[in-house]
Amino acid sequence: MKKLFSLALTIILALSPVAAHAEQQLNFIRDAEIENYLYSLATPIYRAASIDPKSVTIAIVQSSTVNAFVAEGMNEFFYTGLLQLTDSPEQLAGVIAHETGHIAGGHLIRGKEEMRNASAEALLGTLIAVAAGAATGNGGVAATGAAGGMQIAERGFLTFSRSQEASADSAAEGFLESAGISGRGMAEFFHKLEGQELMPADRQQQYVRTHPLTQDRIGAIERFLETSRTKDAKLPEKFYSMHERMKAKLLGYLQPETALLRYTDNDARIAARYARAIALYRTGKTDRAILLSEELVKQEPSNPFFYELKAQIQFESGRIEEAVANYKKAADLLPESALLQQAYGHALLESKGEGKDVSRIDQAIQRLLEANRLEPRIPMTWRFLAAAWGRKAELTSDQDFAAMATYALAEEASAQGKDKAAGALAARAMKGLKKGSTYWLRAQDIKLSIDDAKREQDK
């Protein structure tokens, strides 16, 4: 079995746009459960800001640094260090509302004018693509060269002015109020960061450097709370448990040793046992991890993420048939998750199946196409699809599938920003595909858009 992925919560590398002086690597994380929570919490805030929730991309950066930033208009980045510092969904909602205030206020556009480095925009665009590419393990593949060689300084476009900070705060207060979320969390988070500004710059958390925090800002939110109609509002219960589980999951994955100390055997809370199951798995204690994940599944038989965890541990320990069954349950429970469809399709692809392989391959293809429909630009999904079509070509000796595999590799290269390779692969796929057929047309689209971009460059 080829070990193609290692984490459901997957990590990928790129260069950071927020390094003040030196280059810094950014690790991105894709995780269906954490993204599901962040979008659920953010959706009412985006609506309050008159922003279509579908137009915003949330990216999770794996770093112990406390930071969040917005880029290229509709992209919000949250660091795991910040997610782990927040104690409640209200505190996190405060941060989301503030970042959304920068988007709604058009602060990015002004920031762009101030950019000294022309490649900054390109880099940020690449970062979004790389963040999407983080889907499913094997981070190395999508990471290679995606943002390689580009450097950028923080100063000039990621730091907002004091007036922009004040305006983002006041917008955030309004969004929280109309979304029915208490602003107390925002004030609490400010207090957590208080004092940071008095530290030397190199010791400050990045969040304070990119979003200058002042006594004026703290005073303003306190005054707002005096008259806020929603200051005592409570979010639905599920948000508190989603928040608790997000923190448990992050700790279990990123600091498994610490998680095992913090969440002890005596701790019966679901979040605690979740953190332990993940941490045990991450430290190689597979059997105990599977036992714990089975208990979690029993306790919440309609929770897709517990099936996903169980499936992932089974997949990695070579128990592919069981992994297929559990990924199926996870994907059936949350059919709109591209990440779960992709993981399920990948497990099907690696499974031997009953008798002839072809029906398993067809099922894998179906799941991977569904993952693509839900989220079209994940390079890894295209990579798996290329493997599936390639396998089908071998089993059926039908060369159309070989050409489709080449087309899928062209899509993968295109999603990774590797234009030259994408153009060559698309041209090769077109030769094998029936002229005018769906995939021939799509391959032609890739080729034409890359030819256009090249002509633009040559001008």
Torsion of CA 257, 260, 261, 263, to 10 degrees: 150
Largest Cα separation within the chain, whole Å, is 73
Tell me which stretch binds Zn ion (CB under 5 A): 42-50, 87-95, 207-215, 349-357. 207-215
Report if residue 209 touches Zn ion, rule: CB under 5 A.
no
The footprint of Zn ion on residues 166-185 (CB under 5 A) is 168
Taking the complex as a whole, how short is the minimal distance between the CB of residue 18 and Zn ion, in angstroms? 13
Q: How far apart are the first and last CA of the chain?
A: 48
Q: List beta partners, residue 13.
A: 27
Taking the complex as a whole, how short is the minimal distance between the CB of residue 16 and Zn ion, in angstroms? 18
* Nearer to Zn ion among residue 97 and residue 280 (C-beta): 97
* Nearer to Zn ion among residue 76 and residue 350 (C-beta): 76
Query: How many residues in the shown chain lie near Zn ion by CB under 5 A?
Result: 4
* Nearer to Zn ion among residue 173 and residue 412 (C-beta): 173
Q: Order the strands of the 25-30 sheet from edge to edge.
A: 10-15, 25-30, 57-62, 75-79, 68-71
* Nearer to Zn ion among residue 173 and residue 370 (C-beta): 173
Spatial distance between the Cα atoms of 183 and 82, rounded to a whole number of angstroms: 18
Instruction: Decide: helix, strand or coil at residue 12.
Output: strand
Burial (CB count within 10 angstroms: exposed 0-12, middle 13-18, buried 19+), residue 368: buried
Spatial distance between the Cα atoms of 395 and 402, rounded to a whole number of angstroms: 11
Check if the beta carbon of residue 345 is closer than 8 Å to that of residue 383.
Answer: no
Taking the complex as a whole, how short is the minimal distance between the CB of residue 141 and Zn ion, in angstroms? 34
Check if the beta carbon of residue 44 is closer than 8 Å to that of residue 179.
Answer: yes
Taking the complex as a whole, how short is the minimal distance between the CB of residue 68 and Zn ion, in angstroms? 8
* Nearer to Zn ion among residue 70 and residue 430 (C-beta): 70
Structure tokens at 296: 């979690």
Q: Give residue number: closest CB to Zn ion.
A: 211
Tell me which stretch binds Zn ion (CB under 5 A): 191-199, 209-217, 287-295, 441-449. 209-217
The footprint of Zn ion on residues 137-166 (CB under 5 A) is 160, 165
* Nearer to Zn ion among residue 211 and residue 383 (C-beta): 211
Taking the complex as a whole, how short is the minimal distance between the CB of residue 160 and Zn ion, in angstroms? 5
* Nearer to Zn ion among residue 222 and residue 362 (C-beta): 222
Taking the complex as a whole, how short is the minimal distance between the CB of residue 234 and Zn ion, in angstroms? 26
Check if the beta carbon of residue 307 is closer than 8 Å to that of residue 344.
Answer: no
User: Which of 196, 176, 203, 6 minimizes the C-alpha distance to 92?
Assistant: 176
DSSP code, position 144:
T
Taking the complex as a whole, how short is the minimal distance between the CB of residue 199 and Zn ion, in angstroms? 18
Residue choice 211, 245, 391, 447 for contact with Zn ion (CB under 5 A): 211
Structure tokens at 255: 């600091």
* Strand 57-62 relative to strand 75-79, pairing: parallel
* Nearer to Zn ion among residue 69 and residue 315 (C-beta): 69
Taking the complex as a whole, how short is the minimal distance between the CB of residue 86 and Zn ion, in angstroms? 16
* Nearer to Zn ion among residue 102 and residue 360 (C-beta): 102
Number of Cβ atoms within 10 Å of the Cβ of 89: 26
User: Which of 220, 229, 244, 236 minimizes the C-alpha distance to 182?
Assistant: 229
Spatial distance between the Cα atoms of 41 and 339, rounded to a whole number of angstroms: 19
* Nearer to Zn ion among residue 98 and residue 346 (C-beta): 98
Spatial distance between the Cα atoms of 361 and 352, rounded to a whole number of angstroms: 9
* Nearer to Zn ion among residue 96 and residue 168 (C-beta): 168
Taking the complex as a whole, how short is the minimal distance between the CB of residue 114 and Zn ion, in angstroms? 15
Taking the complex as a whole, how short is the minimal distance between the CB of residue 209 and Zn ion, in angstroms? 11
* Nearer to Zn ion among residue 184 and residue 217 (C-beta): 217
The footprint of Zn ion on residues 351-370 (CB under 5 A) is none
Taking the complex as a whole, how short is the minimal distance between the CB of residue 102 and Zn ion, in angstroms? 6
Taking the complex as a whole, how short is the minimal distance between the CB of residue 391 and Zn ion, in angstroms? 49
Which CA distances in Å does 7 have to 13, 80, 164, 310? 15, 16, 38, 12
Which CA distances in Å does 108 have to 24, 76, 158? 22, 12, 8
Residues contacting 396, CB < 8 A, separation 6+:
358
Give the residues lining the site for Zn ion (CB under 5 A). 160, 165, 168, 211
